[in-house]
Structures are given as C-alpha cells and as structure tokens.
C-alpha cells in the first residue's frame, strides 16, 4: 500500500523539521561539551578564582553551569530530532512511537510548569528575590577578585541600569565586596552611570563609588524591580515563543500519529 500525497507530505515535512532539530541539537551538544571539558577554552576565564575565601563555597562558574544545562537541552533536542527524522525517513513505527511519546511527555511538562508558574507566581517572585540576595551576599566581589557571579551581576547592573537587589544598601551585606573594596566605596562601579563601553565600568563621575547620587548613579534603583519590569515588557514575546513551540510540538505529534496510522494499515 503506497502512501498518499498527504501522508508523503507529512512524512517529508516531519523529516525536514526534525533534521533541523537534530543538526541544531548536535551542534549545541558538541559546543556545550567542549565548553565544559576544554580547559583551554574561554570557559577557564570564567571559573571561580583561586582566592581561598571562595574555596569554601565551591561555587561553579555561571558559564560552567550554563554548559551543563546546554548539554542536557542539546542532548534532548538531538535525541528527539533523531527519532523524528529517522522514524519518518525509515517509515519506522517504533521510532515514530518513541518520538510521539517524548513529545507528549515534554508538552505535559511544559504545560505543568506554566500552570505552576501561574499558580505560584508570588512564591516564584519571592524565590527569585531570595536567590539574588544570596548570590550578592555570598559571592559578589570587586573586579580584581572577580568570580563568575561578580561578572554576571556587573553585567546585569550595567545593562538594566540598577544597583543591588533592592538598592545600594544590599552591598552592606556583600561579604567579599566589603572585604576587598576601597575603604570609602559605598557602591561598585557597575552601579554608576558609565561612559564609553559599559563593559569597562568607567564611571562618568569618578566620585560616584564613594558619593553616589541620583545624578551620577542608579543607587536607589533595585535590579529585582528592573528585572520584573523587563519580564512584563517582554511577556507577549515570551508567550508568543511558548505558543509557537507548543504548536510546533503538536503539529509534529499529529504528523507522527498520521504516519504511524498509515504505516499500520500498510503492514496489514
């Protein structure tokens, strides 16, 4: 029993899209593994410094954590793409069934995560605020003693034009920063209004770190509030991406079910 035109279209479309996912997942997987294991890569530059005061925390770098997350994500996309592409190309009901089951599981997890985020919105916000306070208090330091958390915080503060979690007073509890800063500094340079390339953290007003004000810094503007505003401003985009991903998954599932059904009748 030959496949009809509609089924052939579903087969090749399923094969094409999953080949794209397969290739993209493979590329992400290869890159993330390289970042995690190659000590000569730029990952080495973002590891926590050898300062003895940091060793007790045993805190991995942001990039290293990111690499491990990408390994999992890339591996999952790679596997799903492989099952979908090979299942469609080989007309294998077994591979297509596994592909469909994985899509269903991921879709259910996504819907569950979205529902939990909506139900526990307040708790999630509080947990985020607690996490930000914890990283600032325990790991934030000066540029000459910088670790990956410091780099990440400085990038956030310069990009969102904010200072600390709620305001500049959060740095009073930043243990490492207090131990290594200049004696009269109240805020780090990243809290100041910067000139030139913001990644260089050069304040427009040299007195800003010791005498922050509304004119030369963002010392009263917290990053937690800025981050919440950014999420609200981009909520429609994030929602659109989520819906797009969900629709793509459902289409892939429908095509796989259609092809499986036809292949089942073909065997009979």
Are 166 and 181 within one domain?
Answer: yes
Token pair for residue 160?
């969102």
The highest-confidence range among 19-23, 162-166, 182-186, 200-204, by mean pLDDT, is 162-166
Q: What is the CATH number of the domain that holds 143?
A: 1.10.1450.10
Are 114 and 134 within one domain?
Answer: no
**Is residue 234 in some structural domain?**
no
Query: Could you give the CA distance from residue 157 to residue 163 in angstroms, rounded to a whole number?
Result: 6
**Is residue 92 in some structural domain?**
yes
Query: Could you give the CA distance from residue 79 to residue 64 in angstroms, rounded to a whole number?
Result: 22
**Is residue 166 in some structural domain?**
yes
Q: Give every CB contact of residue 195 below 8 A, 6+ residues apart in sequence.
A: 202, 203, 204
Q: Which domain holds residue 139?
A: 122-227
CB 192, CB 208: distance < 8 Å = yes
Are 82 and 25 within one domain?
Answer: yes
Asked whether residue 59 carries a pLDDT value surpassing 50, the answer given is: no
**Is residue 214 in some structural domain?**
yes
**Is residue 232 in some structural domain?**
no
pLDDT, mean of residues 254-258: 86
Question: Total structural domains in the chain?
Answer: 2
* pLDDT tens for each residue of 220-253: 999 999 999 988 888 888 788 888 888 888 888 8
Are 129 and 103 within one domain?
Answer: no
Are 211 and 138 within one domain?
Answer: yes
**Is residue 19 in some structural domain?**
yes
pLDDT, mean of residues 165-179: 95
Are 68 and 37 within one domain?
Answer: yes
Burial readout 68-104 (b: 16 or more C-beta within 10 A, e: otherwise): eebbeebbbbbbbbbbbbbbbeeebbebbebbbebbe
- Which residue has better confidence, 230 or 55? 230
Specify which residues 217 forms β-bridges with.
192
Specify the residue for token string 């809290």.
191
* pLDDT tens for each residue of 106-148: 888 888 888 887 788 888 888 889 999 999 999 999 988 878 7
Are 112 and 245 within one domain?
Answer: yes
Are 109 and 143 within one domain?
Answer: no
**Does the global pTM surpass 0.85?**
no
**Is residue 78 in some structural domain?**
yes
Are 246 and 221 within one domain?
Answer: no
**Is residue 233 in some structural domain?**
no
Are 62 and 89 within one domain?
Answer: yes
Are 115 and 126 within one domain?
Answer: no
Are 37 and 61 within one domain?
Answer: yes
């Amino acid at each position: 029993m030959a496949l009809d035109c509609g089924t052939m279209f579903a087969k090749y479309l399923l094969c094409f899209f999953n080949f794209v996912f397969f290739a993209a997942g493979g590329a992400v997987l290869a890159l993330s593994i390289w970042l995690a294991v190659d000590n000569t890569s730029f990952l080495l530059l973002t590891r926590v410094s050898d300062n003895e005061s940091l060793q007790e925390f045993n805190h991995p770098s942001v990039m290293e954590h990111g690499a491990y997350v990408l390994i999992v994500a890339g591996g999952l996309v790679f596997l799903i793409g492989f099952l979908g592409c090979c299942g469609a190309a080989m007309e294998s009901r077994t591979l297509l069934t596994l592909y469909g089951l994985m899509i269903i599981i991921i879709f259910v997890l996504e819907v569950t995560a979205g529902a939990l985020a909506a139900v526990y919105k307040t708790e999630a916000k509080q947990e985020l605020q607690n996490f930000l306070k914890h990283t600032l208090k325990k790991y934030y330091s000066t540029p000459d003693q910088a670790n990956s958390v410091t780099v990440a915080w400085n990038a956030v503060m310069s990009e969102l034009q904010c200072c600390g979690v709620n305001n500049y007073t959060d740095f009073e509890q930043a243990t490492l920063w207090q131990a290594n800063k200049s004696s009269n500094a109240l805020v780090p340079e990243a809290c100041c209004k910067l000139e030139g390339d913001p990644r260089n953290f050069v304040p427009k007003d040299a007195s800003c770190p010791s005498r922050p004000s509304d004119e030369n810094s963002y010392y009263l503007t917290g990053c937690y509030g800025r981050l919440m505003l950014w999420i609200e401003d981009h909520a429609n985009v994030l929602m659109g991406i989520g819906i797009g991903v969900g629709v793509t998954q459902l289409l892939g599932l429908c095509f796989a079910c259609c092809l499986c059904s036809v292949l089942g009748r073909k065997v009979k």
